[in-house]
Amino acid sequence: MVLAMAAALWVIGAVMGAPLRARWIMIVVLFAGVIAAQLALPDGHPLRVATGGDVRLWLLIAGLIGMALIYRTGLARVKAHIAAREQPVIVGTFGAGELERYARHIVLREIGGPGQKALKNARVLVVGAGGLGSPVLLYLAAAGVGTIGVIDDDLVDNSNLQRQVIHRDVDIGLPKVQSAANAMRAQNPRVEVKTYQRRLTADIAGALIGEYDLVLDGTDNFTTRYLVNAVCANAGVPLVAAALTQWEGQISVYDPANGTPCYQCIFPQAPDAALAPSCSEAGVIGPLPGIMGAMMAVEAIKVITGAGEGLHGRLMIYDALYGETRTITMSPRDDCPVCGH
């Protein structure tokens, strides 16, 4: 009888278009009434006999149903929690927790939501995972750049740790790209990191750089700098490049496709090795790569988001020893073998 009444209530509710929740409430009220009748009526009463004759039966059924509902609700919450944690990052959208992570960017008028979305959609290649590459890679990952490529053929050495802050003592002997990728993923697991454990050479530079929207050059040799500049200029890919020695660093944005000089316009040929010794020969103050690398990351974010005025056509020189900064305006050269006309 009770089951017939429950079925009748369900069908009537469906016919009348009652919400699913309302129909379940009616069923619960029916079972509550049956339990109340079992408790209130004396033994042998016809209604009590017709509904089972023993309240313990209904209490057992209610307990089982309650346990099933609690289990179902808990399972649904666990599944939802796991799905939220494992939800893939869809290009152009923000996953759980990302709005909070990038809130300090989003509230900046010059970046906002559209700028943060542009960062998420961006593909940036960093050439070199050493002194300049270390802060660049960490700050790009922290900023939420969607895809970050890093190419370097070197291994982490004990002498690197004085300034290459992305690597740790336990990383000594590892490929720098692997050590850097581990640090970036630990900092922000939502960015995609692509590693290339090899030297950038002419036979792969065109295809590799063609996969990215922006290139950051943090290398320490002129051969690679000229190669990166030539390929970027030919492909129309903006280039943020910096260099340093001892106490001084320099940085600029080279984008001849948009009217700026290229690197070879400013430095037509490599200086004599005696005039530009390496860091191992001349030394370098530890925090200087961090300062210049952070500047590179700032310029990269500005290029991607369109914020402010970048160092296009300007060379910034920072002297850490005397705390001075100078900016030199630069113009393209018509006779430049890379971008001249």
What span, in angstroms and rounded, lies between the C-alpha atoms of 213 and 232? Answer: 10
Task: For residue 253, report the phi and psi dihedrals to the nearest 5 degrees.
Answer: -115, 120
Side-chain half-sphere of 60: how many Cα atoms within 13 Å? 5
CA–CA separation, 309 and 253 (whole Å): 11
Residue 253, beta-bridge partner list: 240, 312
Alpha carbons 129 and 216: distance in angstroms, whole number: 11
φ, ψ dihedrals at 192, nearest 5° = -95, 125
- The alpha carbon of residue 241 and the mean position of all alpha carbons in its chain are separated, in whole angstroms, by 22
Residues whose CB falls within 8 Å of the CB of residue 86, separated by 6 or more in sequence, listed in order: none
Give 331: exposed, middle or buried? Use CB within 10 Å, 0-12, 13-18, 19+.
exposed
Q: Is 339 a catalytic residue?
A: no
Angle (CA) 47-50-56 rounded to 5° is 90
What are the DSSP calls for 87-155, one per residue?
A: PPPPTTS--TTHHHHTHHHHTSTTTHHHHHHHHHH-EEEEE--STTHHHHHHHHHHHT-SEEEEE---B
**Long-range contacts of 198-203, Cβ-Cβ distance < 8 Å, separation of 24 or more:** 198/151, 198/153, 199/151, 199/153, 199/224, 200/127, 200/151, 200/224, 200/227, 200/228, 201/227, 202/227
Please provide the DSSP assignment of 4-34 as one string.
HHHHHHHHHHHHTT--HHHHHHHHHHHHHHH
Active-site pick, 232, 265, 279, 339: 279
Active site residues: 279
